[in-house]
Structure 1
Amino acid sequence: MLKTYFPNQDFKALLFDFDGTVADTMPAHLGAWNKALNKYDLSLSREQHQAWAGRPTHRIVEMMNELHGTSINPQQFVAEKEVHYLASLNEVSTIASVMDVIKHYHRQIPMAIVTGSRRKIVELTMNQLNLQPYFDLLVCAEDYTQGKPAPDCFLLAANKFGTDPKDCLVFEDAVLGIQAAHTAGMDCLKVIEDFSLSHTR
């Protein structure tokens, strides 16, 4: 299956971003953002949401404060946004092209979720979608300091697997995540708009 993209490579670990890559959560997250931002008379466009994808929520709040001259409390906002997101959890589904890969290589190659989202939210979403059995490792926002496009999260996953970064393959939908993967020295497949997979260089 992966030989279609990498005929001469045998990967020793598969690292998956979560939101917009394994699970089609982005509409639910964007809706939650805008419900939580409404009380501050602010909104987030789909384009801006996608451009910032991969960064932890609290960091995006800090960036919005800088952009709009506001003083939203990041921790409080994270809690408010999470309530709205969890209320729409039943609208979330998996992404078929990526799930095909996950099911195909399950029990053959170690697999990790590597995300900028908080562990609690990822675990609740994974439970909703019955994804827990497929993954050997979760690397979430609490586990590292420098978010994407820094390579730290992917390098941490490789280290936990005891795998050389060049032997890891990343699956990503966001520009920042793809940059992080390449900076980590890893190959990357992009989940594009129609949810098919595309080779990135």
Structure 2
Amino acid sequence: MIKIPKNVKGLIFDLDGTIANTMQNHFLSWREAVSPFGIDFSAELFKSLTGKPREATILKLNEQFGTNMDPATVGKVKGDTFKKMVHQTQEISIVADVVRKYHNILPMSIGTGSTRNGAKKTLEVIEMSHFFEIVITANDIENPKPHPETFLKCAALMEINPTDCIVFEDGILGMQAAETAGMQVVDVNEYFEMEFTV
């Protein structure tokens, strides 16, 4: 079981790759969306972009590979492909167990780079919607991770000082965001090994 330090007053969870094991599906969806443009979307590339919203990811890939992908069109392919796989999503038990243990004990929220609809669907599939009244998504912020806005909004809505919050994250950008916000961080990769297969 992941231990929560005694001084922590609020828990913030990333969703994809933290509570929900969606990363393989995201990875395959991205491969499908960008392969027509000659991009070999590797696991390493994916990990470096984890936590970025869809449009920002496509713009970054354009910059990196000299492509001219339209964020709306390519983003739709990615989203549609992911939707077809979402029903296969399972919880990441080591983190989901923390959610269950601290439900009604400490305030909890979700801070995700996912869209509102995507996050809602994922939480429904893993049957965890009822644990979270506060869900901050890409639709609720101006500045995505590694900017701390997502997590600062979570803390504000929980009415807890950022320094009293702990963030559960799997992505480098999310961990940077949490640290910038002055929060403690649990790197869930230390507890759960993510596999990517093509």
User: Which TM-score tier does this pair reach, normalised by the shorter chain?
Assistant: over 0.9
Q: In the alignment, which of 89, 93, 98 is matched to residue 95 of structure 2? A: 98
Instruction: Determine whether 1:167 maps to 2:164.
Output: yes
Q: What residue in structure 1 maps to residue 49 of structure 2?
A: 52
Instruction: Determine whether 1:158 maps to 2:155.
Output: yes
Give the AA of the match of 1:76: T
Structure 2: segments with no counterpart, 5+ residues: 194-198
- Conserved 8 A contact 2:108-2:158: no
Cα offset, 1:113, TM superposition: 1.0
Q: Distance in 1 between matches of 2:154 and 2:86?
A: 26
Instruction: Determine whether 1:17 maps to 2:2.
Output: no
Q: Distance in 1 between matches of 2:39 and 2:174?
A: 26
Note the aligned Cα RMSD (angstroms): 1.5
Matches within 5 A, 1:1-201: 4=3, 6=5, 8-9=6-7, 11-192=8-189, 194-195=191-192
Give the AA of the match of 2:171: A
Cα offset, 1:41, TM superposition: 2.4
Give the AA of the match of 2:176: Q
What SS does structure 2 have at the residue aligned with 1:22?
A: coil
Structure 1: segments with no counterpart, 5+ residues: 197-201
Q: Distance in 2 between matches of 1:189 and 1:58?
A: 27
- Conserved 8 A contact 1:110-1:135: no
Matched residues, percent identical? 34
Q: Distance in 1 between matches of 2:190 and 2:27?
A: 16
What SS does structure 1 have at the residue aligned with 2:122?
A: helix
- Conserved 8 A contact 1:110-1:136: no
Q: Distance in 2 between matches of 1:47 and 1:194?
A: 19
What SS does structure 2 have at the residue aligned with 1:180?
A: helix
Stretches of 4+ moved more than 4 A in 1? none
* Corresponding residue pairs, total: 193
TM-score, normalization by structure 2: 0.92
Q: What whole-Å deviation, never above 9, does each CA across 1:8-43 have from its counterpart, x for those lacking one?
A: 41x222100011001010000000001111222223
Q: What whole-Å deviation, never above 9, does each CA across 1:55-89 have from its counterpart, x for those lacking one?
A: 11110100111111111111222211111001111
What SS does structure 2 have at the residue aligned with 1:188?
A: strand
What SS does structure 1 have at the residue aligned with 2:104?
A: coil
